[in-house]
Chain A
Amino acid sequence: MQVTSNAGQLVTQVLAGEVWPPLGDRHGFRVDPDGHAFLLPGMGGVTLGAHCGDPATGYAADHLEPGLSVRHRDPAANYALQYLTCVGNTVVVTTGPAAGSEGFVIGQHAYVLVDMPEETLRSVTAGDQVTVFAVGQGLALLEHPAIKVKNCSPRTLAALAGGTAPDGRLRVHVAARVPAEAIGAGAGMASEYANTDLMGAYEVGGEELSLGLHSLRIGDVVALADTDHRYGRGYREGWLSIGVISTGSGRLFGHGPGPSTIMSGPADAFTIIDDPGANLAVLAAVLPQKEHA
């Protein structure tokens, strides 16, 4: 993105995390939109086969978290990990057979979510330790004071298309525009934690559930209409938030593929450009060459 920022002044914190196992309860099942029980994988641990650029929906999964799902055992240290980690941050596996392998953060979902090449993911499992190079909170766009940037690393900002337009607005390329009706679980929560589930992209149920979001892909940059995510996730007419799709298929009603917020401001501070190529997959290109061998 062609935009001036304070990226050169940001500090990086080195944070420890652990690949966290999927969690269940003794009853197993949850409830889909029509009241039917389901038991599906997707949340926590290491999830193979879904990467930036791949479809976000169409899986037999619930709360699909691509790649690694990372937490810290200490609650306060975990909040620091979740709040300070930003989309695009570098993550290095530090224990286990994949030690030394690198990936990048695609968002938060009460876990830090890390995309890595499929061949690397195959050798990571729950309990493996990772190091996160957290940088991005505090990032500011010097010519766009009305726009609050959050959860966005300088690397992500640089990799996105668009930038400051001659009319002073910020051009942002998005793969999809999301109506306010689609905002599901995550509303009312801090926008530095977890993400915003989008409704209306279920694998089950009738047409009356659809909000036209079935073509979303993991890593897509999206615009959320009528949302103000500067100080939490709320509805506000005439405002806009930009997010990147960090989670996929959701079977639980009121949930679904979700964006992690990276920007929020008055709608008239942005010019939104529809661009099917607006996806975090561009970051995979900057991974070390050895990871693509």
Chain B
Amino acid sequence: MTIDVTPPGLGIDATPAGLTSEATSAALRLVAVNLAATVEQASVGSDPYRIDADGAPYVPVGDGGIVLGVRLGDGVWQHPADHAAPGACLVHPDPAAGYALAAQACVGNLVTVRTGAAAGRTGVVVGKRGEGGRVIATFPQDTLRLLRPGDQLAVRGRGTGAGDPVPGVAIRNIDPALLALLPVTAGSEALDVGVRAQLPSKLVGNGIGRPTPMWDLDLQLTPGTARRYDAAGLRLGDLVAITDLDARFNAGYRRGWVTIGLVVHGGSPQPGHGPGVVALLIGPAGLLRASADPAGHQGLSEEAALDAVRDLQ
């Protein structure tokens, strides 16, 4: 039995070494779906201020919509912003369709702009945001400059429902083909994953107790506290491991388990918020083995993510 890790038309060898081993009981073929999405306009309430963890008011910048100048590989605290994501947030005006968009769009999915000045150009899903059913898509900066809130897009959703990459390790929120672009190595019985940092579950704020297919996990870290966890160098696109966390369904505490996720948005001054992580791989620590490389870790790069969808157009 093999895992279906290669989407039709994907021109690169998307199968990580070892991932075609007799690894799963769920070698069902994934379906792809074309989802309608709209570029979000950032929105705030009638009061311009939010309150930071020390009680000081601030005006949130970069929280949703189209954000220029934030890219995969940037430090999560590099920009003075709130939850800034690398690219544009995509939504749907109907709430139920928005939840479906968030649940069925996966990291590595092709995004095609259908209307507006950027019509015909493409990008790639690199994450999701909590609560409102939002998908984060990265585009080349010259495409992003042409986008305008309200532009219509199509997301080629694929990945939800993928079988375990090794028995006992669940995969979520990513097209399995994309694992080839990440430091993920499958053995016969365990998955080894390189990460930037390994963090305790008590640092997870917003997102805990929420359904992980449509909600990211905010890490309650600041540049100051991150040093205690060797995470001061955390970047967008990094993989991180969160210990004692089971994020297969809702995210919750489970001793001895680990959740590995992708850092998809930057830090936040709000208490209980911070850099956001989309859960990708979840399992007992014996089957899902994370090794941290605080200085040398290479996560998902913009170039690799955009290359991965080039042949899907």
Residues of A within 8 A of B (CB): 31, 33, 35, 179-189, 197, 199-200, 208-209, 211, 226, 228-237, 252-255
Contact = CB atoms under 8 A, between A and B. Distances in A.
Q: Which 3 A-B pairs have the closest CB atoms?
A: A254-B209, A185-B209, A188-B272
A231 B271 contact: yes
A235 B209 contact: no
Contacts of A186: 209
Contacts of A255: 209, 250, 252
A184 B253 CA distance: 8
A253 B250 contact: yes
Interface stretch (B17-25, B106-114, B200-208, B291-299): B200-208
Interface residues of B, number: 35
Nearest to B255: A208
B209 A253 contact: yes
A72 B55 CA distance: 28
A228 B273 CA distance: 12
A235 B250 contact: no
Contacts of A254: 208-210, 250-253
B254 A33 contact: yes
30 contacts: A31-B249, A31-B250, A33-B252, A35-B249, A181-B253, A184-B208, A184-B252, A187-B206, A187-B208, A188-B207, A189-B272, A199-B209, A199-B252, A199-B253, A209-B252, A209-B253, A209-B255, A231-B54, A232-B270, A233-B205, A233-B272, A234-B53, A234-B272, A235-B202, A235-B203, A236-B53, A253-B209, A253-B249, A253-B250, A253-B252
Contacts of B164: none
Q: Majority SS of interface residues in chain A?
A: loop
A98 B267 CA distance: 50
A231 B53 contact: yes
B51 A232 contact: yes
A176 to B, nearest CB: 17
Contact of A208 (B208, B254, B271): B254
Nearest to B54: A231
B248 interface: yes
B272 A187 contact: yes
Contacts of A226: 202
Contact of A232 (B53, B204, B209, B248): B53
A211 B248 contact: no
B203 A185 contact: no
A233 B206 CA distance: 9
Contacts of B202: 179-181, 183, 226, 235
B55 A187 contact: no
A75 to B, nearest CB: 12
Contacts of A180: 202
Contacts of B210: 185, 254
B201 A181 contact: yes
Given A181-B244, A230-B55, A235-B272, A188 B254 contact: no
Which of B52, B202, B251, B273 counts the most A-chain CB atoms under 10 A from its CB? B202
Contacts of A232: 51, 53, 270-272
B256 interface: yes
B220 A235 contact: yes
